[in-house]
A and B are shown apart, each in its own frame.
Chain A
Amino acid sequence: MSTITPEILTAHNVTADEYGKILSILGREPNLTELGIFSVMWSEHCSYKSSRVHLKKLPTRSKYVLLGPGENAGIIDIGDGIGIAFKIESHNHPSFIEPFQGAATGVGGILRDIFTMGARPIAVMDSLRFGPLDEPRSRRILEGVVSGIAHYGNCFGVPTVGGECVFDKSYSGNPLVNVFALGVIDKEKIFKGQAHGVGNPVIYVGAKTGRDGIHGATMASDEFTEESKQKRPNVQMGDPFLEKLLLEACLEAMGTGAVVGIQDMGAAGLTCSTCEMGSRAGTGIEIDLAKVPQRETGMSPYEIMLSESQERMLLVADKGREKEIFDVFEKWGLDAAEIGIVTGDGVLRVRNHGEIVAEIPNRELADEAPIYNRPFTKPARKAQMEAPAYTAGDAKEELKKLLASDNICSKRWIYEQYDYTVRTNTTLGPGSDAAIVRIKGTETAVAMALDGNGRYCSLDPREGAKLGVAEACRNLSAVGAEPVAATNNLNFGNPQRPEIMAQLVEAIEGMADACTHFETPITGGNVSLYNETLGEGIFPTPVMGIVGLMKNAAPVPMRFQSEGKSVLLIGGYRETSKAHFGGTQYADTIVGSTWGLPPALDMDYEKRVHRAIREIVRSGLVESSHDLSDGGLAVALAESSFGGVGARIALPASETPEIQLFHEAPSRILVSTANAAAVVEVAKKHNVDVVEIGVTIQGRVVVDKLIDATIEELHEPWSTSLEKRLHA
Chain B
Amino acid sequence: MKIVKFGVVVFPGSNCDHDAQFSVSANLGEPAEMLWHRDTKIPGGVDAVILPGGFSYGDYLRCGAIAKFSPIISAVKDFAARGGLVIGICNGFQILTESHLLPGALVRNSGLKFICKPVELSVATANTPFTNAYEKGQIVTFPIAHGEGQYTADQATLDELEREDRIVFRYVDNPNGSMNSIAGICNRERNVLGMMPHPERATDPLMGSTDGLGLFRSMVAAFALQKPPPPPRGRSGSDSPNNGPRVAPRLAAHK
Contacts and interface: CB of A to CB of B under 8 A. Distances in A.
Given A438-B206, A552-B206, A154 B58 contact: no
Contact of B15 (A157, A242, A416): A157
Nearest to A440: B22
Contact of B117 (A157, A416, A427): A416
B245 to A, nearest CB: 27
B12 A245 contact: yes
Interface stretch (B73-81, B108-116, B181-189, B219-227): B108-116
A487 to B, nearest CB: 25
A241 B55 contact: yes
Nearest to A555: B206
B198 A421 contact: yes
Interface in A233-255: 239-242, 244-245
B143 interface: yes
Contacts of B54: 157
Interface in A381-434: 415-424, 426-427
B104 to A, nearest CB: 23
A332 B38 CA distance: 11
B201 A421 contact: yes
Contacts of B23: 424
Contacts, number: 83
A611 to B, nearest CB: 25
Interface residues of A, number: 30
Contact of A424 (B12, B59, B117, B204): B204
Interface centre among B23, B26, B114, B198 (most CB of A within 10 A): B114
A154 B115 CA distance: 11
A240 B59 CA distance: 11
A156 interface: yes
Given A150-B114, A416-B116, A418-B116, A155 B143 contact: no
Given A155-B13, A157-B16, A241-B58, A420 B207 contact: no
Interface centre among B16, B18, B55, B206 (most CB of A within 10 A): B206
B234 interface: no
Interface in A152-169: 154-157
A147 B200 CA distance: 26
Interface string B208-249: 100000000000000000000000000000000000000000
Contact of B116 (A155, A242, A333, A420): A420
A413 to B, nearest CB: 9
B145 interface: yes
Contacts of B59: 155, 241
A554 interface: yes
Nearest to B27: A424
A554 B60 CA distance: 39
Nearest to A160: B116
Contact of B57 (A241, A423, A426, A554): A241
Interface in B43-67: 53-55, 57-60
Contact of A419 (B13, B114, B200): B114
A155 B145 contact: no
B206 A427 contact: yes
Given A155-B13, A239-B58, A421 B145 contact: yes
Nearest to B200: A424
Nearest to B204: A424
B170 to A, nearest CB: 21
B17 to A, nearest CB: 9
Contacts of B143: 421
A417 B145 CA distance: 8
Interface string B11-43: 011011011001100100000000000000000
Interface string A465-485: 000000000000000000000
Contacts of A423: 18-19
Interface centre among B13, B18, B117 (most CB of A within 10 A): B13
A426 B54 CA distance: 17
Given A241-B13, A424-B23, A424-B201, 16 more contacts: A154-B114, A155-B58, A157-B16, A157-B55, A241-B57, A332-B12, A333-B12, A416-B115, A416-B116, A416-B117, A420-B116, A422-B145, A422-B201, A427-B206, A427-B207, A427-B208
16 contacts: A154-B114, A155-B58, A240-B55, A244-B12, A416-B113, A416-B117, A417-B113, A417-B116, A418-B116, A421-B207, A422-B15, A422-B16, A422-B145, A424-B23, A440-B22, A554-B205
Interface of B: 12-13, 15-16, 18-19, 22-23, 26, 53-55, 57-60, 113-117, 143, 145, 147, 198, 200-201, 203-208
Give the 8 A-B residue pairs with the shortest CB-CB distance, closest first.
A157-B15, A241-B58, A419-B145, A155-B55, A421-B143, A424-B19, A419-B116, A417-B114
